[in-house]
Structure formats: C-alpha cells, structure tokens
Amino acid sequence: MISKLAIDINCDMGENYGQFKAGGQDNALFPFINSCNIACGFHGGDPLTIQQTIESALQHNLRIGAHPSYPDLAGFGRRNMTIPKAELKAIIKYQVAALKGMVESLGGSLSYVKPHGALYNQMAKNRAEAKTVIEAIQEIDSSLALMGLAGSSLVEISKKMAIEFIAEAFADRRYEVDGKLRSRTLENAILHSPQEVADQVQSILENQIVYSLDGTTVPIHAQSICIHGDNPQALAILKAIRNL
C-alpha cells in the first residue's frame, strides 16, 4: 500500500548519464511509487541506465512512461528551446519510439508519455507546441496517454485531440497563484522538508488545493502526484507520504 489515501505516485527516473549522476537513489525509490517516468537520453539517461531502469520498473510491477525532453543534456532539459515543428515532432518520436521499443523488448508495455522540464512547462502554456508533441505521440502509438500539468490548457487540448490525459500535481514543487509551477530560478521553488511535502500532498488529496508562497489557495485536481528522483530528500519524502 502506497498510502492510506489512494493516489498514483510517479517519479522521474533513469536520468543518470555516464559519469553524471542525477540523484543516484532510484533503486531505493521503486518500492514507494506506482509509476515510473524513464528518461529517453536527451536530458539524461544513457542506454544501459535506461535498460536497467526498465528492468527494475518491471520487477516492481510499475506503470511505465516515457520522459522525453528538448535535446539539452548540458542543461538537463531545463532550458527553453525554440524548435521548428517538424524537428520537434521528430525529436519526440525518436525518444518515445526508442523507450517503447526497449520496454517491449523486455516484455513490458509503455503506458504514457510525460514530457520533461522546460518542454513540460512550455506545453502547459503554448498550445501550438502542445499539439505538436501530442501529434508525435499519436503517430507512434494512439493508445498512449499524456501526463501533464493539472489545471492547464492541456486538459482541453487533450480532449479535443482524443488523447487520454493524466492530470499531474507536484508534491515537492511550489505553485504560483495562477496554478503554474514556481520557476526553479526563483527562491523557494522546491520543497525539501518531508513533512511540508506530505502536508501539500494531503491537501491535494483531501481538499484539492495547494497554497502558493503568499498563502493563496490554488485549486488543483490531480490523478497522479510527482516526486522528483533528483530531490536529495526523495526517499524521506516518499516514506512521509506513505505514512499519510
């Protein structure tokens, strides 16, 4: 049982790349989550790391998602990029197809796509970019769902484009009053205290709200809650959530 309060807990994983370590605690987190967003090599994740992460996810019977990004290894996929539509579509198809093929080669199946970092944030506010990414996903596999920011325009766009949408909230990120995530370039964007994170998760699950930095109530309706695997407190956070 993940928590007394039923909710899908997802985590970004498989982001180590060669000698670069993004968190390095994936193995300890698997027992505490339901869904695993696996890097596809463009912001993190080398081929062996990706394969090993898939194997672990299958061993723990987790739902597996592809976690594609802008081609930005140097910036860990967190820098905005302006990319022509045809090129962006090819970038997404390349990553999703690779992850899907690797998962299936190991006897599993890919369930959804959750874009990473700057791409994720751009899709929540840039309709044209959102549509391009959705088109790319559907051209690979029309049965794949899209995981994205709860309360954003993606809810409407996904409905119009007939792709299943998984509304996501963040346990360890601060929200702005408009429901967007507070930029990582600003102070207090990330929550590190396990108790503070658990309180935010409980508020989302029981009351469908979070509080912005100034205390404003922000409504949020989510089907899945994300814990960032590169958060140094990720394991302690997951244990705190499990004890809710």
User: In the structure, what pLDDT confidence band is assigned to residue 3 with cuts at 50, 70 and 90?
Assistant: very low
Separation in Å, CA 151 to CA 165, 181, 207, 222: 11, 11, 15, 8
Instruction: Please give the pLDDT value at position 132.
Output: 98
The residue that leads in pLDDT, 184 or 223, is 223
User: In the structure, what pLDDT confidence band is assigned to residue 1 with cuts at 50, 70 and 90?
Assistant: very low
Domain 8-242 has CATH 3.30.565.10: no
Instruction: Please give the pLDDT value at position 5.
Output: 54
Name residues whose C-beta falls within 8 Å of residue 78's C-beta, 6 or more positions apart in sequence.
43, 72, 117, 118, 184
* pLDDT at residue 244 tops 80: no
Domain ranges for the chain, please list them: 8-242
Find the mean pLDDT for residues 182-198. Answer: 91
pTM of this structure? 0.94
Instruction: Please give the pLDDT value at position 110.
Output: 98
Find the mean pLDDT for residues 113-122. Answer: 97
Find the mean pLDDT for residues 83-96. Answer: 98
pLDDT tens, residue by residue, 17-56:
988 888 668 899 999 999 999 999 999 999 999 999 999 9
Give one DSSP letter per residue of 158-226, joined into a string.
Answer: HHHTT--EEEEEESSBPBPTTSPBPPTTSTT-B---HHHHHHHHHHHHHHSEEE-TT--EEE---SEEE
Instruction: Please give the pLDDT value at position 233.
Output: 87
pLDDT tens, residue by residue, 221-234:
999 999 988 788 88
